[in-house]
Amino acid sequence: MKTSPFARHIVLAVVLGAAAVLIDSPLFNIIPTAQAASVAGLPDFADLAEKTGPAVVNIRTTERVKPGQGGLPGGDDEEMQEFFRRFFGVPIPRQQQPDRAPRNRKPSPQQEEEVPRGVGSGFIISADGFILTNAHVVDGADDVYVTMTDKREFKAKIIGVDKRTDVAVVRIEGTNLPRLTMGDPNKLRVGEWVIAIGSPFGLDNTVTAGIISAKARDTGEYLPLIQTDVAVNPGNSGGPLINMRGEVVGINSQIYSRSGGYMGISFAVPIDEAMRVAEQLRTTGRVTRGRIGVQIGEVTKDVAESLGLPHAQGALVQRVEPGGPAEKGGLEAGDIILKFNGTPIEKATDLPRMVGATKPGTRSTLMIWRKGASRDVTLNVAELEPEKIAKKDERKAKPEQAPNVLGLVVSDLTDAQKKELKVDGGVIVDTAEGAAARVGLRAGDVILRLNNNDVKDAKQFNSLVSKLDHKKMAVLLVRRGDASQFVPIRPNGQ
């Protein structure tokens, strides 16, 4: 019996449809899961995590304080925990605590107490124990403890810290330790897969994955950063960003967040820049950078067209430091620096990085654009002054005052401190006793707000404190380092 072409098409469609249903059923689902994932183009991170994980470490820092100074805000205080449960939906993540003396045994007035300071991540870069992490993870810590995946714990020594790049090197005593291989971040492609390993909220060896979202992202930092969508949270800082070849391409350093937690954007310090810093830290304990003594700005399209430049590029000299290398070399305000030692400057932020990477004392050539023509000038690069780190015992002696009902003695911020913190008011804590010490406040904290009132100065703050209802909980907005946090406190400390 003959069938029409139309009928044959109908039969074929029915057969293929039935076959599709059968193949999709559990009885005929014979494609292995791994092969199916491969067919779909999805990466399998299991081997990568297993290979690189042992070289990633958890870093726990502590500091030694005298009795009455207290620990970190929100440690074990139940009222603090309840505050965070109500307003943020979750309690404060509890970090691993070092062993402490029983609560009913008070230390002597001279005895210092070790209290937790923070948790971060790091990774081993040499078999003899050198570890790379973020500067903000270990800076200011009295003691640093490193825990490996096999649960071995070491007390680490801080070799060097560089705040400008947020890179630090610490070392533990060991041999034949697992280490990671460094990659080339310049070969990264937007869209390629990467993973992060670290200790978010103290949960060590947590693996998260994502893609490279952008390269050389300017965020106002000293270095251009790698942007990813890898989940990074507090505690991930200092951990490695790893490509699919198992190579480190960056150090997870920052997140963009309005909540304090991950919001889909994270940043990493490129590993090539970090290793250059690490090498200097390992050799001398500090980083030496060059400077030429200019204040610069961007060259806009309108400015470039008006001055006859082919396109907007270079760094516009806005101010020349009197007596500095630039002035001695003949640079003037209004010049546009197009090249530094032959390397083109595409945007203004390229210049400080190039100059910073130049050894002080080097004779350098700059191509500049002045009055419609280019010319070369030469100058000697000077050394950029290292960042000054105030020591605990360098605080200015102040007249003794009685603590207020919160247990606080405060003083006004200096103009320099306000400028550094980018605030208009606030007070700095000189002494924290009683109620203040129990909720974790300590000397050096900055108080910006009491309840709904902005704090302007010490006199106004103490006046506000004197009017508090002792039966009600008050809340302080406290700045410590780069982070601000609300700290509930009862005036009578009960």
Q: Residue 61 in contact with residue 141, Cβ under 8 Å?
A: yes
Does the predicted TM-score (pTM) go above 0.75?
Answer: no
pLDDT at 108: 54
The whole-number pLDDT of residue 477 equals 86
pLDDT at 69: 53
Residue 418 pLDDT: 86
Answer yes or no: are the C-beta atoms of 427 and 413 closer than 8 Å. yes
For the annotated catalytic residues, the residue numbers are 136, 166, 237
- DSSP state letter for 387: P
CA distance 404 to 489: 13
- CA–CA gap between residue 253 and residue 237 (Å, rounded): 5
So what's the pLDDT on residue 247?
A: 97
pLDDT at residue 390 in the model: 38
Block residue for tokens 């691993």 = 96
The model's pLDDT over 324-338, given as tens digits with 9 standing for 90+, comes to 999 999 998 889 999
- How distant, in Å, are the alpha carbons of 117, 134, 163 from that of 160? 19, 11, 10
161: left (phi over 0), alpha (psi -120 to 50) or beta: beta
DSSP notation for 151-218: S-EEEEEEEEEETTTTEEEEE---SS---PEE--GGG--TT-EEEEEE-GGG--SEEEEEEEEEEEE-
Write down the pLDDT at residue 308: 86
Ranges of residues in the chain whose predicted pLDDT is under 50: 1-3, 5-39, 70-105, 388-398, 493-494
Tokens 């060590």 -> residue: 204
pLDDT at 25: 42
Q: What is the pLDDT of residue 39?
A: 46
d(CA 464, CA 455): 9
pLDDT in tens, 384-436: 876 544 343 444 444 567 888 898 999 999 888 888 887 889 999 988 888 88
On the 0-12 / 13-18 / 19+ scale of CB atoms within 10 A, 345 is buried
pLDDT of residue 30: 40
